[in-house]
Structure 1
Amino acid sequence: MKGVLLVNLGSPDSPTPKDVKPYLDEFLMDERVIDVPKLLRNLLVRGIILQTRPKKSAKAYAKIWWDEGSPLVVISERFTAKLRQHTNIPVALGMRYGSMSIQKALQELTGQGVDEVLLVPLYPHYAMSSYETVVVKAMEVQKKHFPNIELTTLPAFYKSPDYIRVLSESIAEGLKDFEYDHILFSYHGIPERHIRKSDPTSYHCKIDGSCCSVNSVAHHTCYRHQVYETTELVKAHLGLPEGKVSTSFQSRLAGDPWLKPYTDYEFERLAKEGKKRLAVVTAAFVSDCLETLEEIAMEGKEQFEEAGGEQYKHIPCLNDSDAWVQVMANWVNEWQQNEVLPV
């Protein structure tokens, strides 16, 4: 029997340092998030970061926390519930980090007789710290606890025509009645070394602005190429003016070169260049989360206005919109009926 496992990032159980600390520990100790030797990672995370970060992060979570719980979890649960209404096979939701584990979700599916699972990492783009770590963790759990289950993984869907269509329509809806000077596509940032590590050719990715436009097998696992492709496809779909759209990267750590340009620098640059009305799209995520709701919607607005900007609009993620649910349902149903992945 077939079933579907949706996996998103995860969340602490509450916006308190007590619950944030173990969540951050699991997240930051992931070798695909902080990819340094374990001893150094342990020293960095447990000896330095976790001494101060939980209290700071808890305050950030408290700013965006809903009555029902973590926005990312609540949105993911709503999306899952809607998806179940559009397919006749079991659908379970797990998180890469936190108490809503992948193991619990697979247990839920096997309890319903499922032995063939479509794994759906809820990330449009391939990155070792997001999409890849979900796949690796799911395979580890499957091998250890559910050896009789067969796993099939949905590919990164960053350029799927259906995904681009619903993303574009969502952005267009968000731009209604907002006369923008500029649209900034701000994606989650990753270290430049992750790009090179994900390059199967070991030579194509140079992060110099040219390699992304030269066709290569490396693009299948190149986060930088894929996010720029998403921006270009949406721009083409909506007919956005060339000079009014750009791409940037947020959420970096000090000490290493991360993908540029940096979003906070772009807020200042655009405002000082006279862009008074800015719309921001966070297309690295399908569900609004701490990074979109606090870092971009709140802090980003402050940064832009302090630099001289006047009007700022964060376009929500796809979340549990009916159109996005229908796209995912179509993919699931096609896999169920034809055993092919349409993405």
Structure 2
Amino acid sequence: MKRAVVLMNLGSPDSTEVKDVKRYLNEFLMDERVIDKPWLLRALLVQGIIVPFRAPKSAEAYKSIWTDEGSPLLVISRQLQQALDKEIDEPVTIAMRYGNPSPKMAYDELLQQNGDLEEVILVPLYPHYAMSSYETAVEYAKEQHRKGGYKFKLTTLKPYYDDETYLNALCASMKPYLEQEYDKILFSYHGVPERHIKKGDITGKHCLQVANCCDVASEAHQYCYRHQCWATTKEVVKRLGIPEGKWGFSFQSRLGRDPWLQPYTAKRLEELPGEGAKKLLVVCPAFVSDCLETLEEIAEEGKESFIHAGGESFTMIPCLNVHPLWVGALKKWVAELASGDNSMKLGKMVHELA
């Protein structure tokens, strides 16, 4: 069977110019799976309030991390594509949920290479299931596949937050940093509104409604972002032997005033020095590629906040990026999907918003 692989990530603006950042933010924030409000209210919020005020600030933030080759997220995604391409027989390309290259561009590129293409394996570069990341990326790729009338089959990798190969790669990437002296390591995940967690609860009575809900077995966990982040954290802590009291768990990148998953990373970074954690490590397992949220929000803004609050040393552990074990994990999953292993395939989506 003639197959190809698409690695799909979030995306970046085409440049650091305010006009490009505005275009990117409009596409991103008008997504109904990101801001799940009625279209008119969403348009008023995004186009009338958020983007006009946020775009100039975001443009400055992007400028602080931009490289000669462009956006770090896009550069690293290309590097990952090249690394995986050397390891497998199937051609590999990349796509973004927002901005360029789109899934359609990726599909067309692959068809130019092989007009007899029979299957595309879609690999969302999100370990955890969230409607505003993994789900929207997959649904967008499926929509462009459907609208394009492509004849090849589209097969999607399921979330891999608890997969052995992902965890092995994550632990290996973190281990060298644990050899230095530190008081605490903070696991910081991208935040989501609490309403997203409740909306994704297929039982309608578990998520954020039961004490210690993430530790209580439930079928809701297959779509619960908080549970999956918690599961990754607990497993990594156990595998690396991080002592109790030397690690923490938080959520970053809050937008708006609605309650989001807590504790908030920004607040914890201000509090930790006063609790005696003067030497801090931060890891962001929800991101597999370094981007604005890790390089600027954590490594720059977060570090400044922590040091200003009395911290002494701050180290952000890089994302998996092109770590050999991460490339190996992708190679293994592609091989399993190509062999027809249903355990690696995505099941039915939970949010049907269209």
TM range (shorter): over 0.9
* Aligned with 1:157 (options 142, 156, 160): 160
Cα distance in 2 for residues equivalent to 1:91 and 1:214: 39
| SS of equivalent to 1:97 | coil
How far apart are 1:326 and its partner, in Å? 1.1
Check the 8 A contact 1:127/1:221 in 2, yes or no: yes
Cα distance in 2 for residues equivalent to 1:161 and 1:203: 30
User: Which amino acid in structure 2 is aligned with residue 13 of structure 1?
Assistant: D
Look up the match of 2:349: none
| SS of equivalent to 2:339 | helix
Look up the match of 2:119: 116
1:166 matched to 2:169: yes
Check the 8 A contact 2:188/2:252 in 1, yes or no: yes
How far apart are 1:330 and its partner, in Å? 1.2
Cα distance in 2 for residues equivalent to 1:342 and 1:132: 16
Check the 8 A contact 1:8/1:96 in 2, yes or no: yes
Residue by residue, what CA displacement relative to the aligned partner does 1:187-241 show, whole Å, maximum 9, x if unpaired?
Answer: 0010000001111111111256511111111101000000010000000110110
Cα distance in 2 for residues equivalent to 1:20 and 1:208: 40
User: Which amino acid in structure 1 is aligned with residue 117 of structure 2?
Assistant: V
Cα distance in 2 for residues equivalent to 1:45 and 1:14: 20
Within a 5 Å distance, the mapping from 1:69-108 to structure 2 comes to 69-108=70-109
Look up the match of 1:199: 201
Larger mean CA deviation between 297-306 and 139-148 belongs to 139-148
Larger mean CA deviation between 238-247 and 108-117 belongs to 108-117
Residue by residue, what CA displacement relative to the aligned partner does 1:36-58 show, whole Å, maximum 9, x if unpaired?
Answer: 00000000011111212111100
Cα distance in 2 for residues equivalent to 1:148 and 1:339: 22
How far apart are 1:338 and its partner, in Å? 4.1
Cα distance in 1 for residues equivalent to 2:211 and 2:309: 27
Look up the match of 1:335: 337
Give the 3 Å change call, closer, same or farther, for CA 266–5 of structure 1 in structure 2: same
Look up the match of 2:218: 216
| SS of equivalent to 2:127 | coil
Check the 8 A contact 2:168/2:325 in 1, yes or no: no
Cα distance in 2 for residues equivalent to 1:304 and 1:143: 47
Cα distance in 2 for residues equivalent to 1:310 and 1:89: 48
Give the 3 Å change call, closer, same or farther, for CA 31–261 of structure 1 in structure 2: same
User: Which amino acid in structure 1 is aligned with residue 184 of structure 2?
Assistant: H
User: Which amino acid in structure 2 is aligned with residue 144 of structure 1?
Assistant: K
Check the 8 A contact 1:191/1:259 in 2, yes or no: yes
Gaps of 5+ in 2: 346-354
How far apart are 1:141 and its partner, in Å? 0.7
> How many residue pairs are counted as aligned between the two chains?
342
Within a 5 Å distance, the mapping from 1:1-343 to structure 2 comes to 1-111=2-112, 112=114, 113-176=116-179, 178-206=180-208, 209-342=211-344
| SS of equivalent to 1:195 | helix
Normalised to the residue count of structure 2, the TM-score between the two structures is: 0.94
Check the 8 A contact 2:158/2:344 in 1, yes or no: no
User: Which amino acid in structure 1 is aligned with residue 216 of structure 2?
Assistant: V
How far apart are 1:342 and its partner, in Å? 4.4
Check the 8 A contact 1:281/1:316 in 2, yes or no: yes
Give the 3 Å change call, closer, same or farther, for CA 19–220 of structure 1 in structure 2: same
Cα distance in 2 for residues equivalent to 1:237 and 1:74: 31
Check the 8 A contact 1:184/1:280 in 2, yes or no: yes
Check the 8 A contact 1:192/1:207 in 2, yes or no: no
Give the 3 Å change call, closer, same or farther, for CA 207–14 of structure 1 in structure 2: farther
Q: CA RMSD in A?
A: 1.3
Gaps of 5+ in 1: none
Check the 8 A contact 2:124/2:134 in 1, yes or no: yes
How far apart are 1:245 and its partner, in Å? 0.9
Check the 8 A contact 2:201/2:220 in 1, yes or no: yes
